[in-house]
Structure 1
Amino acid sequence: MSLNAQYLAYLAKYPLLTKSVTAAALSGLNETLASTLAKDIKTVKIAGIKVKHVLSPKIVTMMIYGAFIVTPTSHYLYGVLNRIFKGPNLTLPMKIAQIITSLCTITPTLSALFTSWISLINNYSLPSHKQLQNLHLSDIKEELGKMAQIISIGLQRNYFGILKSSVVTSICTLTIAQNFIKPELWVVFFNVVYFVLGTIQNTKIKLSEKKIEKKDENKDEKKDE
């Protein structure tokens, strides 16, 4: 059995699991490439030698996002969409209605999830192990408040830009999917397309955050002077 045929067999037998594993791999690669393109490079010493790399816990958190957040959400949302618009031979008005429905519901939802998650992993750090051991209810509320504020700021800064590019991409991908791809393969197809788009968007957000950090640092330096 070819690799492609084997993958399709797993997709038919374990649809959500297969899609989640695929999305996890693509999301991890997304973060690695975005960090490289945005020059978010770190240095570690190995045997006294400085080694530059782009590996970070963000890669793991992006894999979690791909496997447990965006894939189940898109899997069920597109499942509902395909149940509403049934049939292999949809009429042109039905295809247009399907695209409009997706653009008004699925695309904004996935764009909000992506923007929120990227904002969190780029701007929020978990408390230290020692702090986690001594967490009280008030501390948990404070941390949740920080996360909510980060997500709110991230959505204000980046959501509409991401939504705009996602809408354009969704129109193209849905048109292709409607005419050439089986409904059960839609999420995988969209995962690959949005991997490319997501890498570009993630890179832009990282570059934007770096510019803001530099501006803040320059302001602090001027105050100190």
Structure 2
Amino acid sequence: MSTVAAPRKINPLLAAYLANLAAHPLRTKAITSGVLQFIQEVLATHLAGVPARKVPKDAPFYAHAKIESKAPKMTLYGMLVSAPMSHILVGLTQKMFAGKTDLAAKIGQLLVSNLIVAPIQITVYLSSTAVINGARTVDDVRKTVKAGFMNALRMTWMTLPLTIVIAQRYLAPELWVPFINLVQFITGTYFNTQLKKIRMAMDAKAKKDQEEKRE
């Protein structure tokens, strides 16, 4: 008597998400990135200790929750910049190694992802978030990128290969995308928190320098 394994049942919401990801990859990635960037911005604002604005007691709830204009801006960044950029860069990388499954191809894909794709994504991310967090000159953006680039790149080099190995070894294929999104959400929140701290330190230094000049 032969037995047939029952098909794996997955959460209906996850199934719907994966179906949309397959049918409309860029749109689904854009919406996902926008939502995650919004949440990241709110969390990073609290974690970085950004001073709360004084708001009237009858102000909308989002004002008390530190949901300011930066959160919608980060949402737009996620939808219009991050998701399309990642979609294109990852797609080009996959095309370069399409049909190649040998060890050399796997190493080559990993090198391209870490040495070309990741630096581009990090530079764009740091530049965009610097502007959103208050940078007004090219020099301010450059300083922010310089301060955060290597830390972000090292974090990516440590987490990305490990994330892929864990996903492939311990998780069902349908859980890979949500798991990778979760890891990127955590690291993104950390990066944004550090950027806000850098921005506040730069503002404090600039304010101190102005006061010294006046004296």
Give how far 1:147 is off. 4.7
Greater mean alpha carbon deviation, residues 113-122 or residues 51-60: 51-60
Is 1:84 aligned to residue 96 of structure 2? yes
Q: Which residue of 1 aligns with 2:55?
A: 44
In structure 2, do the counterparts of structure 1 residues 187 and 152 end up closer, same or farther at CA, with 3 Å as the change threshold?
farther
Asked if 2 retains the 8 angstrom alpha-carbon contact of 1:21 and 1:67, the reply is yes
**Which of 107, 128, 153 is matched with 1:96 structurally?**
107
Q: Which residue of 2 aligns with 1:32?
A: 42
- The residue type equivalent to 1:10 in the other structure is N
Q: Distance in 2 between matches of 1:76 and 1:178?
A: 23
In structure 2, do the counterparts of structure 1 residues 178 and 147 end up closer, same or farther at CA, with 3 Å as the change threshold?
farther
Asked if 2 retains the 8 angstrom alpha-carbon contact of 1:75 and 1:187, the reply is no
Is 1:107 aligned to residue 107 of structure 2? no
Identity %: 31
In structure 2, do the counterparts of structure 1 residues 119 and 199 end up closer, same or farther at CA, with 3 Å as the change threshold?
same
Greater mean alpha carbon deviation, residues 89-98 or residues 6-15: 89-98
- The residue type equivalent to 2:201 in the other structure is K
Give how far 1:178 is off. 5.9
Asked if 1 retains the 8 angstrom alpha-carbon contact of 2:148 and 2:195, the reply is yes
Give how far 1:189 is off. 5.0
Q: Distance in 1 between matches of 2:128 and 2:53?
A: 21
Asked if 2 retains the 8 angstrom alpha-carbon contact of 1:44 and 1:52, the reply is yes
TM-score by length of structure 2 reads 0.80
Alignment of 1:120-199 (within 5 A): 120-124=131-135, 146-176=136-166, 189-199=179-189
- The residue type equivalent to 1:213 in the other structure is D
**Which of 14, 18, 22 is matched with 1:12 structurally?**
22
Asked if 1 retains the 8 angstrom alpha-carbon contact of 2:30 and 2:78, the reply is yes
Greater mean alpha carbon deviation, residues 91-100 or residues 104-113: 91-100
- The residue type equivalent to 1:31 in the other structure is E
Is 1:218 aligned to residue 208 of structure 2? yes
Asked if 2 retains the 8 angstrom alpha-carbon contact of 1:37 and 1:203, the reply is yes
Query: Between Structure 1 and Structure 2, how many residues are aligned?
Result: 200
Give how far 1:101 is off. 1.3
Give how far 1:207 is off. 1.1
Asked if 2 retains the 8 angstrom alpha-carbon contact of 1:42 and 1:53, the reply is no
- The residue type equivalent to 1:35 in the other structure is T
Q: Residues 159-194 of structure 1: CA distance to partner in whole angstroms, max 9, x if unpaired?
A: 222222222222223444566676x98776544322
RMSD: 2.7
- The residue type equivalent to 2:32 in the other structure is T
Structure 2: any 5+ residue segments left out of the alignment? 1-10
State the structure with bigger RCO (CA 8 A, min sep 6), 1 or 2: 1
Is 1:56 aligned to residue 68 of structure 2? yes
Structure 1: any 5+ residue segments left out of the alignment? 125-145
Give how far 1:150 is off. 3.2
Secondary structure of the 1:54 match is coil
**Which of 56, 73, 81 is matched with 1:69 structurally?**
81
